[in-house]
Chain A
Amino acid sequence: MSDVAQVVTYIPRLRRYARALLGERAAADDLVQDTLERALNKFHLWKRGTDLRAWLFTVMHNVHVNQVRSRREHVGLDGDALELQTRATHDAGLETRDLERMLQRLPVEQREVLLLVVLEDLSYEEAATALGIPIGTVMSRLSRARVRLRALMEGLPATGRLQVIK
């Protein structure tokens, strides 16, 4: 199997991560598409023998950061109508939908860490590399993401218990 063909096998996982990250199908597939295009253009930058999957998440992270940046410059591109339309196709259970909604209320940098670690099972080191942050930051964001998501799901104010447990 050629290297590029290998990329194809990761599309489902890229789509899953993008969906969880953005909460909306059309936007998620746009992100995956842009990621694939960029990955292909930058394929020479991938070091053979290293984990291709982790590298693809790195590419996706960079594409996403750029998208967010350019979206800020064109505020209002994503109408509510779009979201509603895609939502209608999604018939998940109520609890799942709650979870998806609350997930979107986490700050994006916490959401990224949580999803890379929990959903995509990246090691803390891989997550740190993919996001271009120190591993300590991965750990503290992971901790905060969990506190916050739990509080949101329980309808409680986040208490932000952090750092050291005595």
Chain B
Amino acid sequence: MTEFSISEAEFQACVDQRLPDDRRGEVERYLATHPEDSQRLAAYRTQSEQLRAAFAPVLDERIPEGLVQALRPRGARLLRVAAAFALVALGGIIGWQLHGSIERQERVQTIARGAALAHAAYSPEVRHAVEVGADQEAHLVAWLSKRLGGKVRAPSLEAVGYTLMGGRLLPGDDGEPGSVSPTAQFMYQNRQGTRVTLYVRTNMRDQDQTAFRYAREGKVGVFYWIDRSFGYALSSADIDRNELLKIANAAYTQLNP
């Protein structure tokens, strides 16, 4: 009786059903007389099935908006350029009062300015207001935390009537002195469709700590504060200062329990 022999590579190809036709017969005859290997073959095929079954659901998941947008670099770049221009323009028009151009003050005010700008850029968006929706809040928060390099949280503002819609990562404001950190924006909406955004950035410094401050950029009102290494700014164009303060307080309480 002839002793058949097959290589391990052939065995693997057999598991994957990729053996060339002219080798199939011999391998099958081999397996028929080697129960241990035919058992191993069955185990590996089951293993393959299990792997495919385990990850099949990923194919049906909603694709995060951010991934589709990654393929629209021209638009994104344009937006970034537009944002940079707007920043310069706003700086000129509104004349930020950089008393004595103290560095610290600049850093702090950058937050209000950046927040107002980001609010104006994204809150009118109907289809792409957020990159990742609130239905994937855990993912959103983990993703933003990773990108920001610090644990970011999206406070619940339900108590003051605002529901989390989702969030996005904003390009770091490179070029600004002392601020190159990526920034996150969470967007909330009430029943009337009024939107507020919470702008979060890390890498602030301890000595920057502030209580609430209020700034106004054109139509956008901003309450902002710095807490440890985080800077926060809550913006809205459609509600008055008192209402905004109420929401800012709700956010502050949750972020600093």
Interface size on A, residues (CB 8 A): 57
| Residues from chain A with Cβ under 8 Å of B180 in the complex | none
**Chain A residues in the interface with B (C-beta under 8 A):** 4, 7-8, 11-13, 15-16, 19-20, 25-27, 29-30, 32-33, 36-37, 40-41, 77-79, 81-82, 85-86, 88-89, 92, 95-96, 99-100, 103, 114-115, 117-119, 123-124, 136, 139-140, 142-143, 146, 149-150, 153, 162-166
State which of A20, A82, A115, A163 has its C-beta within 8 Å of the C-beta of B146. Answer: A82
Q: Could you tell me which residues of chain B, from 29 to 63, have a CB within 8 Å of some CB in chain A?
A: 30, 34, 37, 43-44, 47-48, 50-61, 63
Does residue B122 face the partner (Cβ distance < 8 Å to A)?
Answer: no
25 A–B contacts from the bound complex (CB under 8 Å): A4-B71, A15-B59, A25-B139, A25-B142, A26-B139, A27-B146, A36-B70, A40-B71, A86-B139, A89-B136, A89-B139, A96-B54, A99-B50, A100-B54, A103-B51, A118-B48, A119-B51, A123-B18, A139-B8, A143-B9, A150-B43, A153-B47, A163-B7, A164-B8, A165-B7
Which B positions have Cβ atoms within 8 angstroms of A?
3, 5-9, 11-13, 15-16, 18, 30, 34, 37, 43-44, 47-48, 50-61, 63-64, 66-68, 70-71, 73, 136, 138-139, 141-143, 145-147, 149, 151
Report whether B44 and A150 are in contact in the complex, using a CB–CB cutoff of 8 Å. Answer: yes
Residues of B within 8 A of A7 (CB): 71
